[in-house]
Amino acid sequence: MSKVKVAAFSISLDGFGAGPGQDLNNPLGVRGHELHSWFFPTETFKKMTGKSGGSVGIDNNFAAQSFENVGAWIMGRNMFGPIRGPWQDDSWKGWWGHNPPYHTSVFVLTHHPRADLTMEGGTTFHFVTDGPEAALARARDAAKGKDIRIGGGVSVLRQYLAANLIDELHLAVSPVLIGEGEHLFGGLDLPKFGYVPCTTAPGEGALHVVIRRMEHTANGEES
């Protein structure tokens, strides 16, 4: 069954999913790259970036699983790039070069319209101006029964969590303290929304935690 999921999303021990001051030189915010230090050595990341080798093990298993059965992505404009305000032109095409690692439809939440952007490798960026639920509806159509992956950033995850629209979250808790930036869970009552931790697995560079939203059947039992 199709799921709306967050996968391989890195957070710090103090709950930050990005550092402050995102710009062209700091796409993940200042010190944000430290959150992903578990991911960069993996075989999955090396393959994504056109390289060979890389580590195998628990970190790599979770990284590889995060790309399985994904039929569409949703991301925020800040994840697509550091450009703010109206699009001045179509020159910015993302951080990933001519062949982004998505290979499917990606729906970018933005307040400013822009024409679809088709890249090499099957990735097409669609710029959605009418909100998260509209983006999810379009992603479901594009996914054709596969999963929809909410890629980030933190603000986008928080919007979908607050709307109780995410079925599963895989968080990679990196052993760093960021201290400032974008906090993932502040003000969100996850137990109230029905989320429970289901899997905890220590990896080579991060602690992997899977949280799922429990559904209630007609007789009151959880499934």
User: Each residue of 154-209: pLDDT tens digit?
Assistant: 999 999 999 999 999 999 999 999 999 999 999 999 999 999 999 999 999 999 99
**Total-model pTM:** 0.93
Between CA 100 and CA 210 the distance in angstroms is 26
Phi, psi (degrees; rounded to nearest 5) at 84: -120, 155
Domain assignment of residue 218, yes or no: no
Residue 93 lies inside a defined structural domain of this protein? no
Quick one: pLDDT at residue 84?
A: 87
Please count the structural domains in the chain. 1
Q: Which letter, b or e, does each residue of 169-208 get, where b requires 16 or more Cβ atoms within 10 Å of its Cβ?
A: bbbbbbebebeebbbbeeeeeeeeeebeeeeeeebebbbb
What is the C-alpha to C-alpha distance for residues 143 and 124, in angstroms, rounded to an integer?
13
Is residue 113 included in any domain, yes or no? yes
> CA-CA-CA-CA torsion for 61, 19, 104, 87, nearest 10 degrees?
-170
Question: Residue 170's domain spans which residues?
Answer: 4-20+31-83+99-213
Mean pLDDT of 19-24: 90
pLDDT tens digit string along 51-98?
Answer: 999 999 999 999 999 999 999 999 999 999 988 899 989 899 999 999
